[in-house]
């Protein structure tokens, strides 16, 4: 009866405390880098890790563009960050990664309005969803294809402002990703298709960084893939309703606050001396080896070529070649 319940609760709490402090070594607080005169874009910057990343970049003095879909939320987040940091140079620009047309519109508006770009933080992500107006699975387009197109359209500006960096928010979930370049962007079938789709998009993120680095050698534009930490745990978001009660304690256990989740993105965006690790994968603010498929250079190249085709790049004059 009650005794067992209390004992169980006590054990859970002890386990929680142990794991929370054992698993989660917070990175040491470092001196804030000086980013005055630098311009950053953070996609999905109105909430979660994106907002925490934008807030910290603004604290360092950067001009920060929150590139996000929902205008009222984007404007509110920009206002909140301006107030909290005293940095007036934080603005919202609309970007819907689920629409390649919107990605193009955002890129041309940005290039018209903003003379500089030093940091592109491809942070936005979704874990489930249907099909986009472009006919791709929503997670694959938002997490990979939309960001792929965005990065290509902004590459010349990043190069003219070099040294500059691209940070791609991936996930440890890339370990379960499977990519077949000929069926790219089509939702997988099967019971756990939503989870599979998400994992595939995250493998694409790690491979995107790898191939981008290869193509950018000698340009002083570097790029990094990061695992942000399980903020609000990805596993939890995909759980069928009837399983949620079992996952609640786990979700609570692995819940990271957004500021902690932003640490690795910020590390890769601002830490000095990371240039030689361009194309590599970071977690817990440290260089880590991703899973073997994420180190497959042939797959990385095939993914790149298929992505170019799917977003309509690679034609003459359109694709900024490094």
**Sign of the CA dihedral with 141 first, then 203, 19, and 44 last:** negative
Tell me, yes or no, if 198 is annotated catalytic.
yes
Q: How many CB atoms lie within 10 A of CB 166?
A: 29
- The two structure tokens encoding residue 163: 């040294």
Scanning the structure block, which residue is given the tokens 């900024």? 320
Q: Is 126 exposed, middle or buried (0-12, 13-18, 19+ CB in 10 A)?
A: middle
Q: How many CB atoms lie within 10 A of CB 305?
A: 13
The DSSP 8-state label assigned to residue 131 in this structure reads: B
Scanning the structure block, which residue is given the tokens 């830490």? 271
Residues recorded for the chain: 322
Sheet holding 221-227, edge to edge: 90-94, 63-68, 39-43, 119-122, 164-169, 221-227, 281-283, 286-288
User: CA-based Rg of the chain, rounded to a whole angstrom?
Assistant: 20
The answer to whether the peptide bond before residue 27 is cis (omega within 30 degrees of 0) is no
Q: Residues 16, 198, 224, 281: which is the catalytic one?
A: 198
Return the SS3 of 152: helix
Q: Which residues carry out catalysis? A: 198
């Amino acid at each position: 009866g009650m005794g067992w319940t209390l004992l169980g609760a006590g054990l859970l709490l002890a386990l929680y405390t142990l794991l929370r402090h054992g698993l989660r070594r917070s990175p040491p607080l470092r001196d804030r880098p000086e980013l005055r005169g630098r311009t950053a874009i953070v996609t999905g910057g109105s909430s979660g890790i994106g907002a925490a990343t934008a807030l910290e970049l603004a604290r360092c003095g950067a001009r920060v563009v929150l590139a996000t879909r929902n205008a009222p939320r984007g404007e509110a987040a920009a206002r909140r960050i301006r107030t909290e940091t005293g940095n007036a140079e934080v603005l919202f620009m609309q970007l819907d990664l689920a629409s390649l047309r919107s990605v193009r519109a955002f890129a041309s508006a940005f290039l018209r309005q903003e003379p500089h770009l030093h940091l592109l933080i491809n942070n936005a992500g979704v874990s489930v969803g249907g099909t986009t107006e472009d006919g791709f699975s929503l997670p694959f387009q938002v997490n990979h294809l939309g960001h792929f197109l965005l990065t290509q359209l902004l590459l010349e500006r990043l190069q003219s402002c070099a040294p500059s960096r691209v940070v791609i928010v991936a996930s440890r979930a890339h370990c379960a990703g499977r990519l077949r370049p000929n069926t790219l962007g089509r939702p997988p079938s099967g019971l756990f298709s939503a989870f599979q789709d998400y994992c595939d998009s995250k493998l694409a993120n790690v491979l995107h960084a790898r191939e981008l680095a290869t193509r950018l050698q000698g340009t002083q534009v570097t790029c990094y893939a990061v695992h942000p930490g399980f903020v609000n745990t990805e596993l939890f978001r995909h759980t069928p309703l009837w399983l949620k009660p079992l996952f609640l304690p786990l979700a609570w256990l692995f819940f990271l606050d957004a500021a902690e989740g932003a640490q690795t993105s910020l590390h890769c965006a601002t830490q000095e001396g990371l240039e030689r690790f361009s194309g590599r994968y970071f977690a817990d603010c440290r260089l880590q080896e991703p899973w073997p498929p994420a180190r497959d250079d042939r797959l990385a190249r095939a993914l790149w070529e298929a992505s170019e085709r799917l977003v309509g790049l690679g034609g003459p004059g359109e694709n900024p070649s490094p």
